[in-house]
Structure 1
Amino acid sequence: MNDTPGWASPGSAPSDGPDSGKPDSAEPTAAEQQSGPPSKWSKEQPPPAQWSPPSTPGPGQTPPPPPPPPAQGGGWGGQRPGGPGAPGGTGGPGGYRGWGAWQGPPPAAKPGVIPLRPLGVGEILDGAVSTMRAHWRTVLGISLTVAVLTEVVVVLLQGLVLNDTVDTDALNDPSATLGELTRAMGDTMLSSGVVLVITLLGTIVATALLTMVTSRAVLGKSVTTSEAWQDSRPQLARLFGLTLLIPLIGVAIVGVGVLPGLLIALAGASDAGASLAILGGLAATVAALWIVVRFSLASPALMLEKQGVKKSLARSVKLVRGSWWRVFGIQLLAAIIANVVASIIVIPFTFIAGALSGEGVTGFLDNAGDLGWTFLIVSGVGSVIGSMLTFPITAGVTVLLYIDQRIRREALDLELARAAGLPGHGTTAPGTPGS
């Protein structure tokens, strides 16, 4: 057994030497009794082969090894047997107790909001919240500005244009014809689509800016709103295309799954076609969800690595491979948290808006296409506050999940340590984790 300090426990045998297979002699020979010094042991000895007298080793014998040196530094600190007063005393300041007891590596460096090592679920969520707390002026300023601009456009469109052009009365009329129902559904989908596109544009801008803020927060560096805008502006058009492309891929997959059943139903076998459409739709929905999650890290890859849309999708697939359930679970948890926070804020404002408009929530539900200005403004205030708090959570979790996957697969923590200027990691020009 090797007697290197820290590996050999107290009382272990000496290291194997050239004569390790030779048994110790029970009694000294006649030549040793004549030439060697007198024995210091009494005549009454333990049974042979258990103890050997401390006589001077003869020719060909290996002397016993010296005792291990006292512990120094933080690697093998602790207290030797015998207490603080014993030789060797208390070890160094490493805090590892017990001889040879190693209690794991030292904690990872943490220059910013996360430690530079593979992260747990709680650390990713905490990192997103810590970014909002540490850089609250920039984060809340970006979120509030984008949310206000987006909601103003939505309220003006709904109040000035959509209320006059959208007719949903046929949806509540049992005697409405098929043409009236089709026209009403088309108007409703158009109104919802316009609002969705405007909201999506605001979300894209907020996500792009907050991605830059979070990437700097990982390095312990702050960034102003203007700096985040300068960094993200060249990629906004690509980010918009990427954000539209991923849902379209999912919709196309679901459409392909439903199409055979619809064709069979149109051919005359309505029952069989409907059943096939439902089964195909469920299977296609699962496939679409699998694809969308594999592409879910493309947005931070595009922003931080300055990639194109196609390469960003490929990077996301590579990073998610083998970790699909983990990525899906973390993003689902973040979405649930964001929606709960938004609901806590938006729902009370909706009730207040219904009460102030004089029709109440029941009137709002009965006349969904005809919204008064009071209702639109009050409910819009609630939407602004909700978006201001949810934008940083969703964007921060996605960026930190992307960084965590790169740390696990590509040792990005070493590059981050160099970018943060930590001692012992060299120096590099400041930049984002993807630069």
Structure 2
Amino acid sequence: MNDTPGWVPPGSASSEGQGAQAPGPAQPADQAGPGAKWSSEQPPAGQWSAPSVPGPRGGGQVPPPGPGWGGNPHGGWGRPAAAKPGVIPLRPLGVGEILDGAVSTLRAHWRTVLGITLTVSVIAEIGNILVARHLLPEPVEIDPAADPDEALRQAVDALQSMLVSLVPIMLIALLATLFTTALLTVVISRSVLGRPVTLSEAWREARPRLPQLLALTFLVPLAAVGLVGLGILPGVLVGGAGGAALIVVGAIAAVPVAVWLVILFALAPPALMLEGQNVVGALRRSAKLVSGSWWRTFGIVLLTTVLTTIVQMIIATPFGVAAVFVDNDGLGDLFSAEGPNFGWPYLIVTGIGAVIASAITFPISAGVNVLLYIDQRIRREALDLELGRAAGLPGYTTEPPGGAPGSG
């Protein structure tokens, strides 16, 4: 059974059930044995060169590929010169090209993208404001003069209060991520092919995949949190100074495993949306694509997180400062012993800053994730040929003898 479809439009059925007459997509690297990049059944060297494409006068060949693209070391066939029907060139991408593709998608489809992100961000921020105003518990007071045992108890209570406060905020963030991921994945997949998409079209294509994406969105973070929880559980049960030491040791051991798991499954959402995979299939596909490129994937995800965090801070900081001055009561209590007690003006002004920051950073994060997925498939499965055919580009419409590269 083939679990590597070529390019399935979001919302369509999985290609696992394609008939024998359907265009043969590139096969996954793992089907050719451990560590293989392509199927072992490749055309003999020299039997397939770059396909011809009509020139201005009806003839001519595709220009020779750039450096590093003269031929495939696993097969002997060549690729067409990298075309760029949309926001990325159809070849393996560098980190800068992935980031540029995400920003280019925002520029090229700004009405659709901002329509999605602004709507989701406003609803999410309203939820955060209501939670902060009505549901969050009062902060635990810490007595600086308390004895060591009492200070430890207060610290544990403060940690529990903080975790309780984070639960509703994290739920809202996950739901916001769900809708932006689903809709923006459709937009970005179209932008790669240079095709426009409206908000209604994105919603229509993404809606059938939302239940499975919802399960996937919650599954991976819960698994990571569960791993960290298991790591610190012995220290929590022991308690006291020894328990605190065990918590630190457990966290040091569990957090790297949780990070490894999150990166391993980082490409599952686009796999689910673009391949018609189920939840388990999407997790398996992500693990296969990330395998052997974990550190590269981790570096790109980390860089994107740092950049989007900096952008959020740059945008949110002026709003935070303005909110302090707008909220007169909060400003008067800023240096009081009880601390600031900000009200509705503060929450509303900071909420506006958060909406603007999210509307800009959501597309970048989602774009990098989808383009990283596409890049990995180009590197491992020659998805650039499938994308070129899907875009109707000259020179990509003819498959090499024996089918698409990697088929066997």
* Match of residue 197 from structure 2: 223
| Deviation digits for residues 95-127 of structure 1 (CA, Å, limit 9, x no counterpart) | 99xxxxx99757411100001011111110010
Q: Give the Å deviation of 1:196.
A: 2.1
**C-alpha distance 196-173 of structure 1, shift in aligned 2 (>3 A):** farther
Superposition map of 1:6-405 within 5 A: 107-159=81-133, 161-162=134-135, 166-168=137-139, 170-171=141-142, 186-263=160-237, 265-266=238-239, 270-271=241-242, 274-358=244-328, 359-360=330-331, 363=334, 370-405=341-376
Q: Give the Å deviation of 1:306.
A: 1.8
Give the aligned residue type for 2:368.
V
Contact kept? 1:121, 1:330, Cα under 8 Å: yes
| Deviation digits for residues 311-330 of structure 1 (CA, Å, limit 9, x no counterpart) | 11111000000000100001
Q: Give the Å deviation of 1:305.
A: 1.2
Provide structure 2 residue ranges, at least 5 long, that are not aligned to the other structure: 1-51, 53-59, 71-79, 400-408
* Match of residue 89 from structure 1: none
**C-alpha distance 365-322 of structure 1, shift in aligned 2 (>3 A):** farther
Structure 1 ranges of 4+ moved more than 6 A? 92-96, 175-184, 364-369
Q: Give the Å deviation of 1:364.
A: 8.9
Residue 257 of structure 2 aligns to a residue whose secondary structure is: helix
Structure 1 CA distance for aligned equivalents of residues 337 and 294 of structure 2:
42
**C-alpha distance 93-205 of structure 1, shift in aligned 2 (>3 A):** closer
Q: Give the Å deviation of 1:154.
A: 2.0
Residue 334 of structure 2 aligns to a residue whose secondary structure is: helix
Structure 1 CA distance for aligned equivalents of residues 61 and 393 of structure 2:
22
**C-alpha distance 191-370 of structure 1, shift in aligned 2 (>3 A):** farther
Residue 205 of structure 1 aligns to a residue whose secondary structure is: helix
Contact kept? 1:357, 1:374, Cα under 8 Å: yes
Structure 2 CA distance for aligned equivalents of residues 258 and 166 of structure 1:
24
Q: Give the Å deviation of 1:166.
A: 2.3
* Match of residue 397 from structure 2: 426
Residue 170 of structure 1 aligns to a residue whose secondary structure is: coil
Q: Give the Å deviation of 1:426.
A: 2.5
Structure 1 CA distance for aligned equivalents of residues 325 and 283 of structure 2:
47
Give the aligned residue type for 2:164.
L
Structure 2 CA distance for aligned equivalents of residues 95 and 217 of structure 1:
25
Contact kept? 2:325, 2:331, Cα under 8 Å: yes
Give the aligned residue type for 1:304.
L
Structure 2 CA distance for aligned equivalents of residues 190 and 139 of structure 1:
33
**C-alpha distance 371-109 of structure 1, shift in aligned 2 (>3 A):** same
Give the aligned residue type for 1:372.
G
Between stretches 215-224 and 249-258, larger displacement belongs to: 249-258
* Identical pairs, percent: 52
* Match of residue 387 from structure 2: 416
**C-alpha distance 335-232 of structure 1, shift in aligned 2 (>3 A):** same
Contact kept? 2:102, 2:371, Cα under 8 Å: yes
* Match of residue 18 from structure 1: none
Structure 2 CA distance for aligned equivalents of residues 310 and 240 of structure 1:
13
Contact kept? 1:355, 1:361, Cα under 8 Å: no
Give the aligned residue type for 2:165.
S
| Deviation digits for residues 341-397 of structure 1 (CA, Å, limit 9, x no counterpart) | 000011111111011102339729976795300001000000000000000100000
Give the aligned residue type for 2:204.
Q
Structure 1 CA distance for aligned equivalents of residues 231 and 155 of structure 2:
26
**C-alpha distance 336-220 of structure 1, shift in aligned 2 (>3 A):** same
When Rg is computed on C-alpha atoms for both structures, the one with the higher figure is: 1
- Corresponding pairs, count: 326
Structure 2 CA distance for aligned equivalents of residues 167 and 303 of structure 1:
41
CA RMSD of aligned residues (A): 3.2
Structure 1 CA distance for aligned equivalents of residues 286 and 305 of structure 2:
19
The TM-score normalised by the length of structure 2 is 0.72
Give the aligned residue type for 2:390.
A
